[in-house]
């Protein structure tokens, strides 16, 4: 059983249908059911001929071309599990992955893609997300995906071609956008950013929508013009590989010693710490988090105005605002 033979395709179709039913049960695409058809049709297994799953002490490789039939079957079922899959490791560092399908569905629905939209994806990954966008839009040329690593973009092109999609795949720094393909109606990032690159806004049409992971959350911005955008975080937590290139932020360790136990494991508190890193220390963040009723992610937002980009709680004008460095 290989990734392209009839037996694989039959088993993959059944596994894909099961995945769609699983996402159906969560009500993810109730607002935009057109995405259901995209997930039902795009063959995810063609985008992960090899992937890695975490095991004690490291990663285990699974691949379509394994000589062991049981291993190949395990590969196929894993390709359609509602879990993220690591696709590129280098010296033990995770460089690229395929996101959890249900999270991808939530992000694509929140992007509010409309017919004819020009879309930029920052973080090509395996190419699977670009294929979903191309399928939804029905025009490969409307989709551009960019990644810094030639190894990633080369593989994405191969996977996309194998699945019958041909969006524009660019090797470059996603923090700079892709000016030669602008203007864009939608930008979606599949990697975590420390701030909102101003050049993205300059490459957007007025009224464009930008969705990017940030600080363990998902930020959705509406672009007013080349110098101004504003929006809030979605309720869902999200964890992505950091952007590589000029926009990458180097993470630093955060010491939670001395904080109450109830704060250390709270997602919303860790989100606040990540969002305000370098501005609030953990004790200050804890006092704010407690004092404001342990605010959920959707109470936070980000504004980009000219040279300034800042995060805020409840309102852009304060009283709680923090610069995004």
The predicted model scores a pTM of 0.93
Helices (H), 68-165: 69-79, 101-111, 128-137, 150-163
Residues 227 and 266 in one domain: no
| Cβ proximity of 85 and 51 under 8 Å | yes
- Bridging pattern class, strands 217-225 and 321-323: unpaired
Residues annotated as catalytic (active site), given as ranges: 99
243 falls within a domain = no
Write out the residue range of the structural domain in which residue 272 sits.
Answer: 261-323
Residues 187 and 266 in one domain: no
Digitized pLDDT (tens) for each residue of the chain, 325 residues in all: 444 456 788 999 999 999 999 999 999 998 899 999 999 999 999 999 999 988 777 788 999 999 999 999 999 999 999 999 999 888 777 888 899 999 999 999 999 999 999 999 999 999 999 999 999 999 999 999 999 999 999 999 999 999 999 999 999 999 999 999 999 999 999 999 999 999 999 999 999 999 999 999 999 999 999 999 999 999 999 999 888 765 444 445 556 667 787 776 789 999 999 999 879 989 999 999 999 999 999 999 999 999 999 999 999 998 999 999 7
Phi first, then psi: give them for residue 269, nearest 5 degrees: -70, -45
The helix-helix angle for 6-25 and 101-111 (nearest 10°) equals 60
Residues 201 and 303 in one domain: no
Residues 135 and 276 in one domain: no
Residues 103 and 171 in one domain: yes
Residues 25 and 168 in one domain: yes
Residues 212 and 280 in one domain: no
The number of folded domains in the chain is 2
60 falls within a domain = yes
């Amino acid at each position: 059983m290989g990734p392209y033979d009839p037996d694989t395709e039959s088993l993959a179709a059944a596994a894909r249908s099961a995945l769609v039913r699983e996402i159906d049960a969560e009500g993810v695409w109730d607002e935009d059911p057109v995405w259901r058809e995209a997930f039902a049709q795009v063959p995810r297994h063609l985008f992960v001929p090899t992937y890695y799953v975490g095991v004690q002490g490291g990663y285990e490789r699974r691949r379509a071309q394994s000589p062991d039939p049981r291993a190949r079957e395990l590969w196929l079922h894993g390709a359609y599990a509602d879990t993220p899959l690591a696709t590129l490791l280098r010296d033990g560092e995770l460089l690229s992955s395929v996101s959890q399908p249900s999270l991808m569905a939530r992000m694509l629905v929140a992007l509010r893609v409309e017919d004819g939209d020009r879309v930029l994806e920052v973080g090509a990954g395996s190419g699977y997300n670009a294929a979903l966008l191309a399928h939804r839009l029905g025009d490969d040329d409307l989709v551009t995906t960019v990644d810094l690593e030639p190894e990633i973009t080369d593989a994405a092109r191969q996977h996309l071609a194998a699945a019958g999609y041909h969006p524009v795949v660019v090797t470059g720094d996603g923090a700079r956008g892709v000016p030669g393909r602008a203007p864009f109606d939608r930008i979606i990032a599949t990697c975590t950013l420390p701030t909102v690159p101003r050049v993205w806004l300059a490459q957007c049409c007025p009224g464009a929508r930008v969705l990017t992971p940030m600080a363990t959350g998902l930020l959705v911005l509406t672009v007013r013009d080349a110098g101004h955008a504003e929006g809030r975080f979605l309720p869902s937590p999200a964890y992505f590989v950091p952007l590589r290139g000029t926009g990458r932020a180097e993470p630093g360790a955060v010491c939670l010693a001395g904080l109450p136990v109830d704060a250390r494991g709270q997602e919303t508190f860790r989100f606040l710490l990540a969002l305000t890193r370098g501005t609030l220390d953990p004790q200050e963040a804890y006092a704010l988090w407690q004092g404001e009723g342990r605010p959920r992610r959707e109470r936070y937002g980000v504004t980009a105005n000219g040279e300034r980009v800042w995060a805020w709680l409840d309102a852009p004008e304060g009283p709680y605002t923090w610069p995004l460095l």
